[in-house]
Amino acid sequence: MHTDTHLFTPDYDVADLDYAAALRADSQPLDQSVRDQAAHWVQRVRDNASDEGPVASLLQEYNLSSEEGVALLCIAECILRIPDSATVDSLLQSKLSGLDWRAHSGRAESWFVNASTAALLVTGKIVTPNPKGAWNSLVQRVGEPVVRVMVRKAVAVLGGQFVYGRDIKAALKSAKKEICSFDMLGEAAMTDADAQRYLRSYHDALDALCTQPDQPLHQKQGLSIKLSALHPRFNPHQKDRLDVELYPRVQGLVIKAAQHNVPLCIDAEETERLLLQLDVLAKLAHDPAITPSWEGLGLAIQAYHKGAQQTVDFVADLARDSGRRLLPRLVKGAYWDAEVKRAQTLGLDSYPVFTRKADTDLNYLICARKMMEARAVMHPCFATHNALTVAAIAALGSDGYEFQRLHGMGESLYAIAKPKVGVRVYAPVGPHRDLLAYLVRRLLENGANSSFVHQIADDDIPVGAICQDPLNDTSRAMHAPHDLFGARTNSLGFDLDRAPHLARVQAAKVPAVTTVDTSASEARAALERAHGAFGSWNGAGFETRSQILLAAADLLESHTAEAMQLLADEGGRVLADGLSEVREAVDFLRYYAMQAATMGAVKVLPGPTGEDNHYWVEGKGVFLAIAPWNFPLAIFLGQVSAALVAGNTVLAKPAEATPRTGLWAVGLLHQAGVPRDVLQCLPGEGPVIGDALLGDSRIAGVAFTGSTATAKRINIQLAQRDGPIATLIAETGGINAMVVDSSALPEQVTRDVIAGAFQSAGQRCSALRVLCLQEDIADAQIEMLTGAMQELRIGQASDPSTDVGPMIDAKAAAGIRRYLSAIDANGAQLLAETPLGVFGDDPRYVAPQMWRLADNAMPDREVFGPVLHIVTYQSDQLQATIERINDLGFALTAGIHTRSDLRQAQFARSIHAGNVYVNRNQIGAVVGSQPFGGHGLSGTGPKAGGPLYLTRFIQERTQSTDTTAAGGNAALMAGG
Ligand code: NAD
């Protein structure tokens, strides 16, 4: 059977260029008559510009390349959810001041845009500080409350334009003349409570829609549902749960829709969810409980996706196999930015979506043709605001399909084009507070400027250019994801959400490595050899060593899957953590290799006549690299490769818990060409090896990453020895905080807090330990976090469905449990806990937990496990909260979630942290993008993966030669 999703593998691993060539081969040039028709419509739309819907007019005036446009939408995104005045004021001041609202005044044809502009002009003036830094005198006169009220009003008007109705009843009322597909909500569900709420709102909507008079299906109001709203874990690794928990929810809705002959469409989602969606669709199509004669089951297919044509084929086959006529909707695609970013972040071979708009347009037309040809088994819906697309489809047939447009857009185009088939409106319904945030964010994310809606209204773009056949487009595709860093190749990743990629990882075996602890005398012998090997290695030159590192990077990259297995087996790293760790190690090797490649050149320095000045750098001698167990590959190889490439010989000590990973990595470097005496691995007890080597003056430097206590001890041992003062690079712990104010989006905060606090079972130095919530939103945020924590899956590290694996060992877990008992005894309150299930009996597991200490206190130490502390603060206490965090003495990572640029700047300026993150999580620093490391109690720097790291491993040398003593300055004499 074709409709088995196991057999469906969209080929989106194809590179953009190959795919574009295939698209062109499959495309036919558009007829002149189609282009003429489209051009005629565009001209008429322009001639009737004042008829264009308010949303389109607004986007036209405040397009996303203008600062004012972005500011306006940013305010609209969040203002309605902010309960307190202080945060609103900070937001308005940061978004409105200093912008040129006057330039937009009275320009638009729409009264609505002009009215909004007038409001913003006044407000913008009010909140712009005068040269003395005080707020404009108008504020003093009218007072801030008036400003707030005005902007809220303006945004509420805006909300009324974007949102079709606040609830289904209101929506149905305003939909008298239009046929709609109602979209009921905004965000994806983060908790089961969210999912249940969304399910109820879908049922309520359906109940209302079921009361429609009996009419043919295509004249009835319908509903769009989003599967990710119906389950908080709608992702491929939770498929077993989804079969049991999600399917019955969807089935209940669909049975109801079918009984009352109401169209129901499954909305578009991100690529990694496509197969899950198709799986649900296939089950529904075959489900005997759903009225067999109902033809209203739909799915949105996104033409920007490289698998779109196969999805169309899949849907057609499904309709044939199941005997059920289907109602697919073809759209351009909703998550372009997110898809591109994800592919780049994962370092994939290629993008799952087209990066040229023209390719999407071509694919849309090919898909449309396929759907029109399959009209015997489906009733296609074409969602588009593009005149050329409308004309091209209209030329393919005059019945058996429909058009769709978004509420507020494409109104005049369809009014002018008057297609022979129906035009359905995709209409967002819900409270403005939630929905506006969602809609505006999607607009901001997707950048509306290249869209047809924007172009059609822009008189500066000639009609001919807008109606150009996409076949003739000559724009270039985006660079592949691995070309992100220019000359340095990005490390290659897997997409663990995709079965073929995951299968490759799962097929890999844990490399066999045997390890024996190094004794003190063996460590001293190793030092002897390393010392002896220094001269030739240092003399080999930067260029040679850099080439060896590049070879090692390629070698490691080709063993990514094995390394992930080893990291899971020995270090308890879940697969996603293992993957990002291997990639980080590859990035370190390439980054330091690139930097070192040019370091070796001798530089000629200026000086007086008769003197030659030269400057060069070289290695220092023997480095001891001491790594922690929590990044046993990336940190280990980062230290080792930096020391090596600078010309040092290295004794590399992996942590006690992860010796096999260290030995394996050193084996790879040997294979890549590092001589055995130049790099030696010394697995074993830290104090044994430390005591054997740290007193020896032949150790030129130590690169250490681990706890602050161990770093202090090493520092003392080095200081006490005779001989030269050694270099010490120490990267240590942190008590990392995140501050969240009332303008933050709770769903984003939840996502980032869960990742920051509980990924890797909290065993990251960068992990979030203290979440500081503004009091106004604390309860709601804690509730959402609590719900999300119930959804986390505890499991074995090598199981791809695991979110939180074991701690490194039972001893570490026992230490965390002791800490928890102690705070419990001191009056702390346990706010939430993830159930451990069957892993409750395994002493290596600690449940992710959220606590509030007595008296709203901050923790006094680094708790290296899945424990999150909650602290609350009042809106006007942001600075005081920052100072409380600073008083802890650490300075590693810190985060803030706020929509106010002023608060972002205030936080970044005054928080003590090496790495500050805004509106994202605070883990997973990327080499070269976020050089990593702290100060204060958190380390010495320089930052790993940053521009200055190598400088700590080198010795600078200069030579000045008095050339007058040996015959004078030849150049001067020749010239003179
Ligand atoms: P740890 O200090 O116990 O051990 C780190 C390393 O030091 C291990 O290899 C250990 O064997 C070795 N060691 C211990 N005593 C020694 C001694 N006397 N002489 C020489 N070596 C000795 O730390 P850990 O528990 O392995 O790692 C967790 C800690 O590391 C946390 O505090 C975490 O924040 C920190 N960390 C910091 C960073 C960073 O970049 N800032 C990164 C990862 C981990």
pLDDT in tens, 446-497: 555 456 666 777 778 899 888 999 999 888 888 888 888 989 999 999 999 9
Å from CA of 690 to ligand 1 middle: 12
By the 10 Å C-beta count (0-12 exposed, 13-18 middle, 19+ buried), 191 is classed as buried
Å from CA of 868 to ligand 1 middle: 21
Q: Which amino acid residue places its CA nearest to atom 39 of ligand 1?
A: 731
Q: Is the pLDDT of residue 169 over 50?
A: yes
Q: Which amino acid residue places its CA nearest to atom 17 of ligand 1?
A: 687
Angle between helical axes of 54-61 and 144-162 (0-180°, round to 10): 120
Q: Is the pLDDT of residue 705 over 60?
A: yes
What is the pLDDT at residue 237?
95
What is the pLDDT at residue 562?
98
Of 61, 77, 557, 731, the active-site residue reads: 731
**Closest to 267 in 3D by CA, of 239, 243, 298:** 298
Across 518-538, average pLDDT: 98
Give the model confidence (pLDDT) of 111-138 as tens digits: 556 666 666 665 555 555 554 444 455 5
What is the pLDDT at residue 560?
98
Relative to the CA of 627, which ligand 1 atom is closest?
A: 9
Cβ within 8 Å of residue 199, ≥6 positions away: 230, 249, 253
Cβ within 8 Å of residue 961, ≥6 positions away: 611, 612, 613, 614
pTM above 0.85, yes or no: yes
Give percent above pLDDT 90 in the chain: 76
Å from CA of 835 to ligand 1 middle: 30
Cα separation, 12 vs 22, whole angstroms: 13
Q: Is 731 a catalytic residue?
A: yes
**Closest to 717 in 3D by CA, of 699, 736, 734, 735:** 699
Q: Which of 39-48, 213-222, 427-436, 711-720 has the lowest mean pLDDT?
A: 427-436
Å from CA of 708 to ligand 1 middle: 8
Q: In sequence order, what are the beta bridge partners of 403? A: 382, 423
For ligand 1, pick from 580, 707, 717 the residue to mutate: most ligand atoms within 8 Å of CB. Answer: 707
Q: Which of 82-91, 373-382, 512-521 has the lowest mean pLDDT?
A: 82-91
Q: Which of 55-69, 267-281, 401-415, 814-828 has the lowest mean pLDDT?
A: 55-69
What is the pLDDT at residue 1?
42
- Angle value at C-alpha 305, between 299 and 309, nearest 5 degrees: 70
What is the pLDDT at residue 202?
96
* Residue at token pair 């690079």: 729
Å from CA of 698 to ligand 1 middle: 23
Cα separation, 585 vs 565, whole angstroms: 15
Q: Is the pLDDT of residue 926 over 50?
A: yes
Cα separations in angstroms, 467 against 182, 389, 531, 894:
31, 9, 72, 49
CA 921, chain centre distance (Å): 9
Cα separation, 589 vs 574, whole angstroms: 23
Å from CA of 956 to ligand 1 middle: 29
Q: Is the pLDDT of residue 54 over 70?
A: no
Ligand 1 lining (C-beta closer than 6 Å) = 626-631, 635, 653, 655-656, 686-687, 689-690, 705-707, 710, 713-714, 731-733, 765, 862, 864, 892, 933-934, 938-939
Instruction: Tell me the one-letter amino acid at 188.
Output: A
Relative to the CA of 713, which ligand 1 atom is closest?
A: 18
What mean pLDDT is reported for the chain? 91
Q: Which amino acid residue places its CA nearest to atom 15 of ligand 1?
A: 686
By the 10 Å C-beta count (0-12 exposed, 13-18 middle, 19+ buried), 62 is classed as buried
The pair of structure tokens assigned to 791 is: 């959804």
Backbone dihedral region for residue 407 (phi beyond 0: left; psi -120 to 50: alpha; all else: beta): beta
User: 2: pLDDT confidence band, cut at 50, 70 and 90?
Assistant: very low
Across 100-108, average pLDDT: 66
User: 159: pLDDT confidence band, cut at 50, 70 and 90?
Assistant: confident
Q: Is the pLDDT of residue 372 over 60?
A: yes
Across 290-311, average pLDDT: 95
Handedness of CA 798, 802, 808, 813 (dihedral sign): negative
Q: Is 269 a catalytic residue?
A: no
Q: Which amino acid residue places its CA nearest to atom 4 of ligand 1?
A: 706
Q: Kindly provide the b/e burial profile for residues 281-314, where b requires at least 16 CB atoms within 10 angstroms of the residue's own CB.
A: bbbbbebeebbeebbbbbbbbbbbbbbbbbbbeb
Give phi and psi for 350, each to the nearest 5. -155, 170
Across 82-98, average pLDDT: 87
Q: Kindly provide the b/e burial profile for residues 820-848, where b requires at least 16 CB atoms within 10 angstroms of the residue's own CB.
A: beebeeeebeebbebeeeebeeeebbbbb
Across 780-802, average pLDDT: 97
Of 180, 381, 681, 765, the active-site residue reads: 765
Q: Is the pLDDT of residue 56 over 70?
A: no
Relative to the CA of 938, which ligand 1 atom is closest?
A: 41
What is the pLDDT at residue 8?
62
What is the pLDDT at residue 125?
57
Q: Is the pLDDT of residue 58 over 70?
A: no
